[in-house]
């Protein structure tokens, strides 16, 4: 406990971020000094602290941090320090200081200088949380912060519609995969206490797991792998890093070259004893890694632009890391990760100098690589080239599947959705409640899921989609109340902040209810207060770490799993939909470049 106050030093980047968002404009020099200060102070502390640990041979070590009880739910936040976290922590420190120093001159006189540094500091804080987290809860918090700051930096240039679309896309992938982690954390906590903590996971023996149902472990590991696949851009989602290279070069370097993209590998390293218990999971990880490696290696060879080339090379290397993980070489993965992160970060930073080096006879330009592809027959080679340059039709086939196979169902659903308004549903529910049918508890989550899907599909207008999702959540909670009349004891902690933020956003968007969300409206300059309050509500609602909603999510999900699996699923879908719809609303309403001329 004597350490726990000192660990507050890791909060300093967050404080810097908050300071920059207080509404005051700072000069560039001040911003740099503050940012360097907030990242150097934890660095010095880390050096002293880990030096002490190494001297006393007390690694790994668990440090209790906060201990409190909220609505009969016991929160025990700890830090877990082992070799993995020390490597990741120092990687963060070094690259953070370096990138801040680089950005000082690089971003000189740029609009949004302060915004850039506040976001970078938020990201650094997220990485501290991620690498030091003692349990999956806190890990999830860091994971979320990293995702949010990533979204903000891809959308750094608010006048470029293409970057906003890409930011939204990446955020959606992050969000879907985050929920894998969330469900994993909840399942692990629900089924056996303490499985949440890394100190427990790291000392797991196969004997400990033998008495638990193999399906539970399989699902738990599956969700973990799903989460890391999204974050580390592996097989089904391996196309996004090339699209995410929209922010300033230093931010791309630190996010997609170095730290953020390796977070998935880090999660798998942390939970290695858990998911490697089943052979199925190890094979799954290996196959994912191999597929990604092959596909992105071929794709990186056909990229015409330098950042896309680097992005696909990064995913290919992480594919190799996944293969190494499935074979059990955890130490090798750690070393590989460290040097890969450093190398890619610098490679991205100096990527504009490719022009000069290609003008000269530099090795990058002239070297004829000896590759398997050179020995292939010409026809196959050309076929591969075309396939790779269209990204193996991966995105297109998704779209084709969506529009051909699902077109009828989609249209049918859409017509129903247009005819069935929310008030019909509410009237139906009231009738059902009055007559008290047996299957009533099942009806509520189903209706909620239906309304969520309606909100997702019909998110063409600002107000209507928000209202749909509001009704969907309400219906779900009514259902829970119907199951368990005492549920208000623990749901209120979620419901009160949720209700306030929802009402605020509904009031804000009611003014713009006629605007079509297929276009960008760029109202942020005209209505800065609307935009800012909408953004704050959005990050609170999407479960910004350590906000009331974040604390409540744990409790609710845990209790819900005891009550009804369907309700839990519908609530999780709700969380996902809230983030997607709110981010879309925020981007389309308040950002972008309009055709309007003043």
Partner 1 sequence: LHPLTNDEHFYALKFCQEILERKHFIPHLVDIQKNIHTTNYKSHPFQAVFCMDDRECGLRRHLELINPDIQTFGTAGHFGIECFYQSEIDPFPRKHCPLPIAPKVLIKEKTKKVQKIKMKYYMWLSNIILGSIATTFELLLKLLNPIKGNNYYNIQMSKKKSLSNLIRSTEESIMTNNHSVKQGYSFEEMARIVYEQLQIIGLTKNFAPLIFIIGHGSTSENNPYFTAYGCGACSGRPGGPNAVIFVTMANMTEVRSILKSKYHFFISEETLFIAGMHNTCSDTVTFFDCENINDIKLTSLKKFQLSISQACARNATERMQAMPNVTAKSIHPMKDPKLRSLSFFETRPEMGHTDLQFAIVGRRELTHNLDLKRKAFLQSYDSTIDLDGKILAKILTAVVPVCSGISLDYFFSRVDNLRFGAGSKLPQNIVGNIGTSHGTESDLLYGLPIQMVDRHTPLRLVIVVEQKPHIALAVLNTHPLVEQIIKNHWVYYFAYDWEQKEYYLFKNDSMIKYNLGWSI
Q: Which residues bind partner 1 (CB under 8 A)?
A: 27-29, 102, 104-110, 156-157, 159-160, 162-163, 166, 242-243, 245-249, 252, 304-308, 311, 339, 342-343, 346-347, 349-356, 358-363, 365-367, 593
Report whether 115 contacts 28 (CB < 8 A). no
DSSP per position, 579-593: HHHHHHHHHHHHSS-
Instruction: Find the shortest distance in angstroms from Cβ 228 to partner 1.
Output: 24
- On whether the CB atoms of residues 157 and 246 are closer than 8 A, the answer is yes
Cβ-in-10-Å burial (0-12, 13-18, 19+) of 377 comes to exposed
Are 322 and 76 contacting, i.e. CB atoms less than 8 angstroms apart?
Answer: no
Nearest CB to partner 1, comparing residues 161 and 501:
161
Q: Which is nearer to partner 1, 30 or 382 (CB)?
A: 30
- Smallest CA-to-CA distance from 181 within 138, 127, 149 is with 138
CA distance 139 to 270: 10
> Measured from the CB of residue 470, what is the shortest distance to partner 1 in angstroms?
34
- Which of 243, 270 has the CB closer to partner 1? 243
- In the numeric block, which tokens belong to residue 333? 């993965």
CB of 84 to partner 1, least distance (A): 20
Burial (CB < 10 A; 0-12, 13-18, 19+), residue 542, is: buried
Least gap, CB of 275 to partner 1 (angstroms): 27
> With contact defined as beta carbons under 8 Å apart, do 60 and 80 qualify?
yes
What residues does 69 pair with on adjacent strands? 74
Q: Kindly tell me which of 206 and 363 has the beta carbon lying closer to partner 1.
A: 363
At closest approach, how far in Å is the CB of 299 from partner 1?
Answer: 12
Rg for the chain, CA atoms, rounded: 25
Closer Cβ to partner 1, 407 or 593, answer by number: 593
Q: Which residues pair with 64 in a beta bridge?
A: 78
The CB-of-358 to partner 1 minimum distance in angstroms stands at: 6
Please state whether the peptide bond connecting residue 444 to the residue before it is cis, i.e. omega within 30 degrees of 0: no
**Token pair belonging to 285:** 């990880």
Nearer residue to partner 1 within complex by CB, 360 or 382: 360
Per-residue tokens: 201 = 């996971």
Tell me, rounded to whole angstroms, the distance of Cα 496 from its chain centroid.
25
Print burial letters for 418-436: b (CB count within 10 Å at least 16), e (below 16): eeeebeebeeebeebeeee
Cβ 317 to partner 1, closest distance in Å?
A: 10
* 3-state secondary structure at position 545: coil
Q: Which is nearer to partner 1, 28 or 208 (CB)?
A: 28
Min. distance of Cβ 29 from partner 1 in angstroms? 5
CA dist 557 and 313 (Å) reads 39
Beta bridge partners of 133: 79
Min dist. Cβ of residue 311 to partner 1 (A): 7
- Alpha carbon distance 47, 265 (integer Å): 24
State whether the Cα torsion 421-423-428-429 is positive or negative. positive
> CB within 8 A of 487, min separation 6: which ones?
480, 481, 559, 563
* CA pair distance 424, 87, nearest whole angstrom: 57
- Find out whether 463 and 589 touch, Cβ atoms under 8 Å: no
Nearer to partner 1, 309 or 468 (CB): 309
Hey, how many other C-beta atoms are within 10 angstroms of the C-beta on 87? 18
User: Closest separation between CB of residue 52 and partner 1, Å?
Assistant: 28
CB of 328 to partner 1, least distance (A): 19
Instruction: Report, in Å, the least distance between residue 500 CB and partner 1.
Output: 37
Residues in the chain: 598
Token readout for 579 is 């983030």
Dmax over CA atoms of the chain, in Å, equals 83
> With respect to partner 1, which residue has the nearer C-beta, 1 or 370?
370
Q: Which is nearer to partner 1, 196 or 299 (CB)?
A: 299
Nearer to partner 1, 357 or 547 (CB): 357
Least distance from partner 1 to the Cβ atom of residue 219, Å: 36
C-beta closer to partner 1: residue 363 or 377:
363
How many Cβ atoms sit within 10 Å of the Cβ of residue 410? 13
Cα 172 from Cα 413, distance rounded (Å): 22
Nearest residue (CB) to partner 1, 175 versus 336? 336
Least separation in angstroms between residue 517's CB and partner 1 is 21
Q: Please, which residue, 252 or 570, has the CB nearer to partner 1?
A: 252
């Amino acid at each position: 406990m004597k350490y726990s106050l000192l660990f507050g030093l890791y909060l300093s980047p967050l404080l810097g971020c908050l300071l920059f968002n207080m509404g005051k404009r700072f000069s560039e020099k001040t911003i740099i000094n503050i940012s360097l200060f907030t990242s150097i102070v934890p660095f010095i502390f880390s050096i002293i602290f880990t030096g002490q640990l190494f001297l006393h041979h007390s690694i790994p070590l668990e440090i209790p941090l906060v201990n409190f009880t909220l609505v009969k739910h016991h929160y025990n936040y700890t830090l877990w320090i082992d070799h993995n976290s020390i490597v990741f922590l120092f990687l963060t420190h070094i690259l953070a200081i370096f990138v801040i120093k680089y950005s000082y001159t690089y971003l000189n006189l740029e609009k949004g200088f302060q915004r850039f540094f506040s976001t970078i500091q938020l990201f650094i804080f997220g990485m501290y949380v991620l690498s030091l987290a003692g349990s999956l809860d806190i890990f999830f918090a860091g994971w979320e912060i990293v995702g949010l700051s990533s979204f903000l930096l891809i959308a750094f240039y608010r006048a470029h519609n293409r970057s906003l679309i890409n930011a939204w896309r990446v955020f959606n992938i992050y969000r879907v995969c985050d929920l894998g982690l969330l469900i994993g954390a909840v399942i692990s906590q629900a089924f056996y206490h303490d499985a949440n903590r890394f100190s427990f996971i790291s000392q797991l023996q196969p004997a400990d797991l033998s008495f638990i149902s193999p399906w539970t472990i399989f699902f738990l590991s599956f969700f973990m792998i799903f989460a890391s696949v999204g974050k580390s851009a592996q097989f089904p989602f391996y196309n996004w890093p090339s699209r995410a290279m929209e922010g300033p070069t230093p931010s791309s370097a630190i996010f997609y070259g170095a730290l953020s993209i390796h977070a998935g590998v880090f999660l798998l390293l942390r939970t290695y004893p858990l998911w490697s218990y089943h052979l199925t999971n190890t094979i799954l990880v290996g196959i994912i890694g191999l597929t990604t490696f092959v596909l992105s290696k071929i794709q990186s060879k056909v990229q015409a632009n330098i950042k896309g080339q680097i992005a696909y090379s990064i995913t290919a290397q992480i594919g190799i890391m996944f293969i190494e993980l499935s074979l059990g070489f955890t130490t090798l993965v750690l070393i590989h990760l460290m040097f890969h992160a450093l190398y890619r970060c610098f490679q991205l930073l100096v990527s504009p100098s490719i022009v000069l080096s290609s003008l000269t006879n530099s090795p990058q330009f002239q070297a004829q690589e000896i590759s398997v592809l050179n020995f292939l027959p010409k026809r196959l080679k050309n076929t591969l080239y075309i396939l790779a340059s269209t990204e193996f039709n991966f995105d297109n086939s998704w779209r084709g599947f969506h529009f051909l196979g699902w077109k009828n169902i989609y249209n049918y659903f859409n017509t129903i959705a247009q005819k069935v308004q929310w008030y019909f549903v509410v009237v139906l529910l009231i009738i059902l409640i009055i007559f008290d049918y047996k299957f009533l508890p099942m009806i509520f989550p189903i209706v909620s899921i239906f309304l969520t899907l309606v909100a997702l599909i019909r998110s063409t207008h600002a107000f209507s989609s928000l209202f749909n999702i509001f009704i969907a959540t309400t219906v779900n909670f009514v259902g829970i109340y119907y199951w368990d009349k005492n549920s208000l004891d623990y749901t209120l902690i979620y419901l009160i902040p949720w209700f306030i933020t929802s009402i605020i956003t509904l009031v804000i968007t009611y003014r713009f209810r006629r605007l079509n969300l297929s276009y960008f409206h760029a109202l942020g300059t005209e209505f800065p207060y609307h935009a800012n309050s909408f953004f704050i509500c959005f990050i609170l609602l999407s479960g910004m770490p350590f906000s009331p909603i974040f604390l409540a999510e744990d409790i609710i999900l845990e209790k819900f799993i005891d009550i009804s699996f369907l309700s839990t699923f519908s609530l999780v879908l709700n969380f996902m939909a809230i983030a997607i719809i709110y981010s879309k609303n925020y981007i389309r309403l308040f950002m972008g470049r309009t055709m309007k001329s003043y």
